[in-house]
């Protein structure tokens, strides 16, 4: 097959951008990338032109779901091991208030590792994932590797990967006139590593009970100063701010950019008692209401390796839901481990935990198409070692 010249040039351009790992930040990258915060979604398929299979897979891995879009990953490429990626946590990208033990951050890193594995498999490489090769850090993550990702020829492509470019966390009301079929829950259940790890319900009573818990927990987070401020501090308001820092909670697009420019959307306006806060509350309750189903995952224990495996499970659920035309949206407040959340946390574990640890909880249903969230270009997350 002969590619048109403009395709070759586009692929080569994207590959060149991804080719040069940067020591930090990524500020030196070209304006073409910086002006479109979602450009890495287009870079991932274009990276197929890159000669290093690790880079090709990493270009996809950075599109993984992760808490507050912190993108807490650092991918080290050891010169002495050209088949290996050392995955570490960028310790400055954690959520110390709402995720005090880095459990959710570890789940995001697990989703990254699984997306890396799927992308590599699509290119004929098998990935061996070795979790925490130097031990499991406690009580928080540290500089030790989270996982080693080692490539070898021979991976088996997974049909789930076909949905990677369209996967989203859909934070919108879902269509209550379209119930989720039980067969969809059964199909999703097959994606988690062990049958006991998956939970899901379309039963109205149970959906209502989970929704009530999710709403109470959300209110607790919103009214606990440091927890709410952690989110507010991560808000990037307006396209310019999002392009400068394509992570966190991005507030941009038609209508929003104008409101930011007019001074209507500000950090101060998001504080309790202020108009932005009231708008946020007024939007969240009806969105939760428009939820026909919930899914959740749990693990027998609460080890680091289990959190990492839960990221694998969640990525697979999210991809499978996308393939079924369904939307998924994590609602994690009741699973957060800061002291003010303890009552809701205990209720969530009792309601959904089956004696283990509930790792993820999400809304499921038919939602609208939403645009991709911003990402730092893969090159900014890659370090030579
Ligand atoms: C462990 C984990 C917890 C999350 N918790 C929430 C949450 O409580 N509320 C929410 O709106 N999104 C949550 N998300 C979704 C992220 O906000 C989302 O993945 C990120 O913004 C990137 O967007 P994308 O998934 O559409 O690519 C969570 C994701 C992960 C992996």
Using only the alpha carbons of the chain, give its radius of gyration: 20
Digit-coded pLDDT (tens) for 87-129: 999 999 999 999 999 999 999 999 999 999 999 999 999 999 9
Task: Name the DSSP letter for residue 211.
Answer: H
Domains within the chain, CATH numbers bracketed: 31-165 (3.40.109.10), 182-210+288-365 (3.40.109.10), 222-287 (no CATH)
Structure confidence by residue, pLDDT tens digits, 137-190: 999 999 999 999 999 999 999 999 999 999 999 999 999 999 999 999 999 999
Tokens of 305: 């390796």
DSSP helix/strand/coil, 147: strand
Name the DSSP letter for residue 34. Answer: H
Q: Is the CB of 111 under 6 A from ligand 1?
A: yes
Q: Is the CB of 287 under 6 A from ligand 1?
A: no
Alpha-carbon span 75 to 85, nearest angstrom? 6
Atom of ligand 1 nearest to the CA of 318: 25
* Cβ of residue 365 lying under 6 Å from some atom of ligand 1: no
373 ligand 1 Cβ < 6 A: yes
Count CB atoms within 10 A of the CB of residue 34.
16
> Residues 147, 305: contact at Cβ < 8 Å?
no
**Comparing 26-30, 80-84, 232-236, 353-357, which segment has the lowest mean pLDDT?**
26-30
The span from the CA of 258 to the CA of 261, in Å, is 5
| Peptide bond between residue 139 and the one before it cis (omega within 30 degrees of 0) | yes
pLDDT score, position 14? 40
**Overall pTM surpassing 0.85 (yes/no):** yes
Give the model's confidence band at 34: pLDDT under 50 very low, under 70 low, under 90 confident, else very high: low
* Helix, coil or strand: residue 247: coil
Nearest CA to ligand 1 atom 9: 331
> Which residue's CA is minimally distant from atom 6 of ligand 1?
330
CB 222 within 8 A of CB 281: yes
CB 235 within 8 A of CB 248: yes
- Checking if the pLDDT of 195 tops 80, the result is no
């Amino acid at each position: 097959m002969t590619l048109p010249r403009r395709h070759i040039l586009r692929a080569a351009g994207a590959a060149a951008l991804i080719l040069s790992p940067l020591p930090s930040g990524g500020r030196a990258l070209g304006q073409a990338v910086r002006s479109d915060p979602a450009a890495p979604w287009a870079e991932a398929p274009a990276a197929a032109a890159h000669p290093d299979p690790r880079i090709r897979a990493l270009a996809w891995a950075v599109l993984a779901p992760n808490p507050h879009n912190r993108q807490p990953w650092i991918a080290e490429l050891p010169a002495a091991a050209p088949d290996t990626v050392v995955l570490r946590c960028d310790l400055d990208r954690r959520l110390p208030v709402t995720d005090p033990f880095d459990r959710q951050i570890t789940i995001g890193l697990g989703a990254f590792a699984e997306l890396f594995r799927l992308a590599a498999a699509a290119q004929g490489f098998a990935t061996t994932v070795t979790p925490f090769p130097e031990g499991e850090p406690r009580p928080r993550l540290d500089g030790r590797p989270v996982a080693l990702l080692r490539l070898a020829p021979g991976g088996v492509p997974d049909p789930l990967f076909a949905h990677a470019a369209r996967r989203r966390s859909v934070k919108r009301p879902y269509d209550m006139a379209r119930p989720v079929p039980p067969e969809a829950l059964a199909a999703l259940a097959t994606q988690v590593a062990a049958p006991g790890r998956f939970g899901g319900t379309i039963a109205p009573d149970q959906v209502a009970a989970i929704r009530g818990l999710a709403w109470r927990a959300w209110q607790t987070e919103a009214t606990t100063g440091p927890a709410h401020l952690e989110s507010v501090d991560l808000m990037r308001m307006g396209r310019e701010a999002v392009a400068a820092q394509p992570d966190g909670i991005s507030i941009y697009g038609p209508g929003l950019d104008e409101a930011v420019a007019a001074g209507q959307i500000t950090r101060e306006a998001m504080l309790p008692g202020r108009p932005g806060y009231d708008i946020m509350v007024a939007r969240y309750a009806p969105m939760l209401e428009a939820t026909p189903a919930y899914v959740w995952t749990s693990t027998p224990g609460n080890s680091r390796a289990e959190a990492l495996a839960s990221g694998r499970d969640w990525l697979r659920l999210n991809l499978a839901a996308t393939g079924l035309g369904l939307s998924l949206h994590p609602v994690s407040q009741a699973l957060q481990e800061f002291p003010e959340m303890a009552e809701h946390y205990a209720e969530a574990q009792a309601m959904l935990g089956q004696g283990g640890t509930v790792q993820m909880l999400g809304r499921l249903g038919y939602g609208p198409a939403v645009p991709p969230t911003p990402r730092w270009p893969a090159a900014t997350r890659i370090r030579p070692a």
